[in-house]
Chains A and B, each alone.
Chain A
C-alpha cells in the first residue's frame, strides 16, 4: 500500500532476473532475483568476485543488456517511482541522458575515439539539456575544470588517445556528470589505475556526488575501495545478493561465510598474518549453479539443508541481511518477515 508521492527511494530494484540464453539450450542466470534500493545521496557498493553478476545488474538498470542473447525475464526497476522496464527505447534513452550517468571500467570503450573530448561532453548537453553549441562548450570547459584539468580550454580540443588512463577516467566522469544525473553508476571505475591516481578519482567521485547531490552505485571487487567510500554494501555471489549491511556494520561484523572468507583472503596492509585464509574452489559459472545454497560447495559450514534448498536473504537485525541457514530463524525455513533478534546465531569465527 503506497501513497502516491515522491517515492522514498531513488532507485528501487525488485526481484530482477536477467538471463542469457546460450547455445545448446543452456541458460546463464547472471542475475537471479536481485532486490535492492538506493536512497538519495547514498553511495551503495556492490562487491563480489568475477562473474558474480555485478556488471549485468548495473547494465540491467541502464537497460543496456544485449538482446539476444540476454533478456530481463522478470522484476521491476523504479527510478524515482517510475518503472524503467516498461519504457520505450526512446524514453529510456532520455533517462540515460538525463537521470543516470555511467562510468565504465575501461574508458576507451565508452569514449568515442574520433571525437574530441569537448565534442563528446557538448553533444550530450545539446541533446539533453537543449543548450546552444556555445553554451554547451562553455559548460564543458567548466566541467573539465571541476574534474581537475588545469588546461581545460586545451583539453576540449584533444582526442581520447592523447590522454593518460587517469585523465580519460576523469573525462568520463565529466561526461557522466554533465547532465546532473540523480544516479551515477560506476563499474570498476579505478580498477585499471595506479593507487595514487585511484585515490584522486575516488575523491573526485565523492566530491561530485556531494556537489550535485546525486547517488552512487559503485561496483568493485576491492574491499578497500568499498571501506573508503561506501555508505552501504551488498555482497553478490552467483547472481544473488548474499549479504547487505551498512559499511561499518559489514566490516566490523561480517556474517555470510563467503564475506568472512573474502575478508580473510585479503592481506591487510596495516596488519600481519602468518597465513591468509582462502576459499577453496572457484565461482561457479552462471549456467551451472549448484542445487541449494550456491556457495555450499565452497563453504566450510555447509550443512545438510544447504545442499537441498537455497536460503532466503533475511534480516538478522534491522541493518543487516544475510542469505545463509546459519542465520535463519530457529526452525524456520526462508522466513524473512520481521526483525526480532530471536535468531539462531552461530559463530563463524
Chain B
C-alpha cells in the first residue's frame, strides 16, 4: 500500500472498437465499443483491480494496454514513453516489461512444450541470456512459484489447474517484468487452490516489486488483492478509487448495486440487495447519455441525454454520474 505515487503507466482516452459485420456482403454495419474512452493511471508497486459484468470490456482493456490489440484511439504511456503508436517491432523492447497471465490455465500453455521450454521461451526470444543462465533461471522460477525442479521435464497436462496457473506465472516472470496484467488469473480455480495462487501473487509482488492490473469479476477477490479498484460498465469506467472508498463508500449507483448483490458467506449478514432492472445492454447499440440509465434506480431526465464524465470526489475517488455534479 505504500505507494510512491510514481506513475508507471498512463492510459489516456483509450478506445477499442470492434467492427460488426452484417448482410450478405459482410459490410461493417456498426461497432462494438468494447473500450470507450478510458483514462487511468497506474502507480508503481500498486495493484489496480478492474471489475465489471461479463462483456463490460475488462479483457479488451488489458489486451489493448499491452498492444495485443491495436487501439482505435487514445494513448498508453509506459514510463513516459507513448507505446500506443510505435511499430510492433519496437514494441519488443517494452514487451519484456509488461506481461500477462490468463484465465484459462488449460488453454494458455502450449501442450506440446515441456514446462521448462514454456518458461524458457520468452528468454529465447529476447536472446539476452546464455543457455546455462536460462536453465538456472527456469529452476529458480519454478522454485519461486512452488514447483519442484523436476517439473521442467513434464508437460502441462500432467499438472492440476492451480499448478498450471503457477507455470503461467513463472513464464510471465521470466523476463523480469515491471508490470503484470492478470486477466481472471484465479477464476477457473477451486477456492482452496485460488487462495494459494493469490498468496503467491502477493509474495511475488513484494519480492520483485511488481505492479499489477488485476482483472476479475469476483468482487471479494478483487477487494482482497487490490489497492485501488476500477468499476467498468459497457466499456467505460463508472467509478475508480482506493478500495476502502469503493467498498465502504461506493458512490456510483452501479457500484452500489454490484456490491449489494455479492453473496456473503455469513448467515448473519444477509443484506438488502439493490435490484437492477434488466440486463447489460448490447455494446453495439449502447443507451444514449449515461449508458447505465436503462437499469439505474436513480436515473433522471439528464441521464438520457448527457454523458457523465469522471469527476474527483475526494481522496482519489472518481465517479461518472450526474448525481454528483450539481444534481438533475
Chain B contacts for A194, CB-based, 8 A: 53-54, 217, 280
A269 engages B192 (CB within 8 Å): no
Asked if A195 and B258 sit within 8 Å, CB to CB, the answer is yes
Which of B13-21, B92-100, B129-137, B270-278 is the contact stretch? B270-278
Q: Is the CB of B263 within 8 A of A224?
A: yes
A278 cross-chain contacts in B, Cβ below 8 A: 192-193, 195-196, 199
Tell me whether A198 and B261 are in contact in the complex, defined as CB-CB below 8 angstroms, given that A247-B267, A248-B267, A267-B220 are known contacts. Answer: yes
Q: Does any Cβ of B come within 8 Å of A279's Cβ?
A: yes
Say yes or no: B199 contacts A275, CB within 8 Å: yes
Report how far A83 CA is from B190 CA in the complex, Å. 35
Residue of A195, A196, A228 ringed by the most chain B CB atoms within 10 A: A196
Mask, A149-180, CB within 8 Å of B = 1, is: 00000000000000011110000000000000
Decide yes or no whether A262 CB sits under 8 A from chain B.
yes
B261 touches A269 (CB 8 A): no
Q: Kindly state the separation between the CA atoms of A200 and B190 in the bound complex, as whole angstroms.
A: 24
Q: Give Cα A278–Cα B195 distance, bound, in whole angstroms.
A: 6
Q: Which of B161, B265, B269 contacts A263 (CB under 8 A)?
A: B265
Pick from A164, A266, A269: contact of B191, CB below 8 A. Answer: A266
Contact B223–A267 (Cβ < 8 Å): yes
Q: Is the CB of B275 within 8 A of A262?
A: no
Q: Which residues of A contact B194 (CB under 8 A)?
A: 265
Once the chains bind, are A269 and B223 in contact (CB under 8 Å)? yes
Bound-complex Cα distance A7 to B192 (A): 39
Q: Point out the residues of chain B lying under 8 angstroms from A252, CB to CB.
A: 267-268
**A249-288 interface mask toward B, CB cutoff 8 Å, 1 = contact, 0 = none?**
0011000000001111111111001011111101100000
- Whether B275 pairs with A49 at a CB distance below 8 angstroms is no
| B190 CB contacts on chain A under 8 angstroms | 49-50, 221, 282-283
A221 to B194, CA, bound (A): 13
Residue picked from B160, B265, B269, most chain A C-beta under 10 Å: B265
Contact A276 B264 (CB under 8 A): no
Q: Which of B190-211 contact A (CB under 8 A)?
A: 190-196, 198-199, 202
The residue that B265 contacts in the complex, of A199, A266, A273, A276, with Cβ under 8 A, is A266
B192 A199 Cβ-Cβ under 8 A: no
Q: Is the CB of B219 within 8 A of A270?
A: no
Considering the chains assembled together, what is the distance between the CA atoms of A197 and B196 in angstroms? Answer: 29
Flag if B220 contacts A197 (CB, 8 Å). no
Q: Does B124 contact A (CB under 8 A)?
A: no
Is B257 close to A, CB under 8 A?
Answer: yes
Residue from B193, B217, B267 in contact with A282 in the complex, judged by beta carbons closer than 8 Å: B193
Question: Which residue of A222, A262, A269, A276 contacts B219 across the interface (Cβ within 8 Å)?
Answer: A269
Give CA–CA (A202, B268) in the complex, Å. Answer: 18
Partner of A225, one of B224, B263, B268: B263
> Given the complex of chains A and B, what is the CA–CA distance between A264 and B196 in angstroms?
11
Q: Is A226 engaged at the interface, CB distance under 8 Å to the other chain?
A: yes
Q: Which residue of B lies closest to A251 (CB)?
A: B267
Number of interface residues of B (CB under 8 A): 42
Q: Which residues of B lie under 8 Å from residue A224 when comparing CB positions? A: 220, 262-265
Residue A227 CB within 8 A of the other chain: yes
> Is A223 in contact with chain B by the CB < 8 A criterion?
yes
- Tell me the chain A residues, 275-304 only, with Cβ under 8 Å from chain B: 275-280, 282-283
In the complex, whether B259 has a CB less than 8 A from a CB of chain A is yes
The yes or no answer to B315 lying at the interface (CB within 8 A) is: no
Say which residue of A199, A222, A266 sits within 8 Å of B275 (CB atoms): A199
Shortest CB distance A50–B (Å): 5
Distance between Cα atoms of A266 and B275 in the complex (Å) = 25
0 or 1 for each of A288-324: is its CB under 8 Å from B? (1 = yes):
0000000000000000000000000000000000000
Q: What A residues does B153 contact at CB under 8 A?
A: none
The residue of chain A having its C-beta at the shortest distance from the C-beta of B188 within the complex is: A50
Task: State in angstroms the CA–CA spacing of A34 and B19 once bound together.
Answer: 53
For residue B261, which residues in chain A have a CB less than 8 angstroms away from its CB? 195-196, 198-199
Contact between B267 and A269 (Cβ–Cβ < 8 Å)? Answer: no
Give chain B interface residues in 243-271, CB to chain A under 8 Å: 247, 257-259, 261-270
Whole-angstrom distance from the CB of A273 to the nearest CB of chain B? 8
Bound-state Cα–Cα, A203 to B260, Å: 14
Residues of B within 8 A of A268 (CB): 220, 264-266
Contact at B265–A227, with CB atoms within 8 Å?
yes
Chain B residues with CB under 8 A of A277 = 195
The interface residues of chain B lying within 8 Å CB-to-CB of A266 are 191, 195, 220, 265
Instruction: Kindly state the separation between the CA atoms of A226 and B276 in the bound complex, as whole angstroms.
Output: 22
Contacts of B191 in A (CB 8 A): 49, 221, 223, 262, 265-266
A228 to B269, CA, bound (A): 9
Residues of B within 8 A of A264 (CB): 195
**Is B323's CB within 8 Å of the partner chain A?**
no
Closest to A298 in B: B192
Top 8 nearest A-B pairs by Cβ distance? A224-B263, A267-B224, A279-B192, A223-B265, A265-B195, A276-B195, A278-B195, A49-B190
Q: List 26 A-B contacts (CB under 8 A).
A: A49-B192, A164-B279, A166-B279, A195-B217, A195-B219, A198-B261, A200-B275, A224-B220, A227-B264, A228-B263, A248-B267, A251-B268, A262-B191, A266-B195, A267-B198, A267-B223, A267-B224, A267-B225, A268-B265, A269-B259, A269-B262, A276-B195, A276-B198, A276-B199, A277-B195, A279-B192
- A227-B270, A263-B265 are known contacts; what are 17 more A-B pairs with Cβ within 8 Å? A49-B190, A49-B192, A164-B280, A194-B54, A195-B219, A200-B275, A203-B273, A224-B264, A224-B265, A227-B263, A251-B268, A266-B220, A270-B266, A275-B199, A276-B198, A278-B192, A282-B192
